[in-house]
Structure 1
Amino acid sequence: MLRTALMLVGAVLMIMGMFFTLQGAGVIMWPADSFMLADRGWVTKGLMIALAGAAVILIGRRAGKNA
């Protein structure tokens, strides 16, 4: 159960982080009223969120080996 929850949270964080990164880079211009569009600060923030998601996934994989 813990492994599944960590994997799910990690995946959601990675998807959100990549979405924020692509919005900040100006690749995804949706939704039109978003404050993140073409704002380079969100590229860094999005990558950090995506890396945090990857770390949570790795923790979840290791937690499954011990259970």
Structure 2
Amino acid sequence: MRKTLLVVGLLGLAMGLLWIGQGTGMIAWPKTSFMINQLQWAGYGAVLGAVGLILIWQATC
């Protein structure tokens, strides 16, 4: 169970960071993404990243 939490947490954190980067316009990949320069996606990414960190924390405790 701990390995599953850790993997899901890491994936959530990575995806959240990608969404933050796309939402703020710092990451323009893929170039045709509808999420680029849309600040709402940076907010969604922050929430997803926080959930990922919580899962990682739970897996390591």
TM-score range (shorter-chain normalised) is: over 0.9
**Structure 1 outlier segments of 4+, above 4 Å:** none
Number of residue pairs aligned between Structure 1 and Structure 2:
61
The gaps in structure 2 that reach 5 residues or longer are none
**Aligned counterpart, 2:23:** 24
**Aligned counterpart, 1:47:** 46
* Identical counterparts, % of pairs: 31
Greater radius of gyration (CA): 1
**Shift of residue 40 of structure 1?**
0.6
Give the distance between the partners of 1:8 and 1:52, measured in 2 at CA: 13
Compute the TM-score of the two structures, normalised by the length of structure 2: 0.95
Compute the TM-score of the two structures, normalised by the length of structure 1: 0.87
What do you get for the CA RMSD once the two structures are aligned? 0.7
